[in-house]
Amino acid sequence: MRLSPLIAACSMLAAAVTFAQTYPTKPIKFLVPFPAGSATDVVARQLADVMGKELGQSIVVDNKAGAQGTIGATEVKNAAPDGYTLMVTTSTTQAAVVSLLKKVPYDPAKDFTPIGKIATTPFVLITNDKVPATDLKSFIAYVKANPGKVRFGQGSSGSWVSGSLFGSMIHGDMQMIPYKGIPPAITDMLGGSIEVVFADLGNAQAQIRGGKVKAFGVTSLKRSAALPDLPAITEQVPGYELVPWFALVGPANMPKEVTAKLSAALLKVLALPEVKQKLNAGGFDLDPSDAAGLAKLIDSEVKRWGQLTKTAKIEAE
């Protein structure tokens, strides 16, 4: 006996509702498309424990770095849309790669389900102690006096565009060296293989506290409360600004009820004072939004990063 289309549709709807009500029934994976120690990894690990408690299941963090985050993002794109494989993503994987790479194996908007925005963080221009500059003004003069000789390491689109945009706007020329993430770029900078890294605030703070680097400016429009004595680069380079963001997404076509449950859990834990304190201490500014807000952000950011890469004179690779 065959079920009528109406009965079949009702059965499917009932099954979906039941699934959403019982979800999650097993551990959830947060895939991070950058290496351990990266800003994205820090965000994921800070959220995994508290969000897991809110949902009643453990959340494990899995790092899959490489190719500007597209390796990990592609894995999430191809995962079952059941809410058990999610990605803590960034403006790199969900916006910038469209302009930085000739071939991107996914559509940042169509191939993912937005869950919510989490936070932002500025980058910090740091150098090793072999660079003779003492402040941002003298560093700009140093770059201009040594065209093509100053090497900056990039481990994400944010650090890549930050450095290239800086060079373009000061009419200087720095050589870009690619890395799988910002931490290995910093390691090479400390060892002398490169001179400069535009590092996320969390990683930069750790090096500044250790007295191992020189810091010359932040990429936000205003000075960071965490480093109030450090100028915003725009104070010397008018109009300069670049602030990456972090968000949570899943594969396309996730059940709406599951997406809503995840979005509500994310916003709830981001409102907890202890979560805000930990993320702030790591160099992040909380800037939460729901799934609809994230969807709009991704659409607008793809266009904005296209403009930034054009100004930075970056040719897609």
CATH of the domain at 64: 3.40.190.150
* In-domain check, residue 15: no
**Is the distance from CB of 265 to CB of 51 less than 8 angstroms?**
yes
* In-domain check, residue 9: no
Last residue of a domain, one of 235, 252, 273: 235
- pTM score, whole prediction: 0.85
Domain range enclosing 75 = 27-121+244-311
* In-domain check, residue 168: yes
Q: Quick one: 87 and 179 in the same domain?
A: no
Structure-block tokens of residue 50: 């508290």
Q: Quick one: 40 and 98 in the same domain?
A: yes
* In-domain check, residue 117: yes
Q: Quick one: 88 and 149 in the same domain?
A: no
Q: Quick one: 88 and 76 in the same domain?
A: yes
Centre a 10 Å sphere on the Cβ of residue 10 and count the other Cβ atoms it contains.
12
Q: Quick one: 251 and 215 in the same domain?
A: no
* In-domain check, residue 227: yes
Map residue 216 onto helix, strand or coil: strand
* In-domain check, residue 317: no
* pLDDT tens figures, 180-209: 889 999 999 999 999 999 999 988 998 998
Q: Could you give the number of structural domains in the chain?
A: 2
C-alpha span between 62 and 71 (Å, rounded) = 13
- Where on the phi/psi map is residue 67: left (φ > 0), alpha (ψ -120 to 50), or beta? left
Sign of the CA dihedral 256, 26, 59, 87? negative
* pLDDT tens figures, 22-69: 999 999 999 999 999 889 999 999 999 999 999 999 999 999 998 889
State the pLDDT at residue 21: 77
Question: How far is CA 253 from each of CA 30, 51, 92, rounded to the nearest angstrom?
Answer: 18, 22, 22
Question: How far is CA 248 from each of CA 48, 94, 156, 233, 310, rounded to the nearest angstrom?
Answer: 11, 11, 18, 29, 27
Q: Quick one: 108 and 183 in the same domain?
A: no
Last residue of a domain, one of 180, 215, 235: 235
State the pLDDT at residue 155: 86
Give the mean pLDDT of 212-235: 93
> What CATH number is given to the structural domain containing 151?
3.40.190.10
* In-domain check, residue 302: yes
Q: Quick one: 194 and 169 in the same domain?
A: yes
* In-domain check, residue 112: yes
Last residue of a domain, one of 217, 235, 253: 235
Q: Quick one: 152 and 253 in the same domain?
A: no
Percentage, residues of the chain above pLDDT 90 = 82
Q: Quick one: 107 and 135 in the same domain?
A: no
Q: Quick one: 157 and 172 in the same domain?
A: yes
Q: Quick one: 146 and 215 in the same domain?
A: yes
* pLDDT tens figures, 126-170: 999 999 999 999 999 999 999 999 999 998 888 999 999 999 999
Give the mean pLDDT of 85-109: 95
Q: Quick one: 114 and 31 in the same domain?
A: yes
C-alpha span between 145 and 205 (Å, rounded) = 28
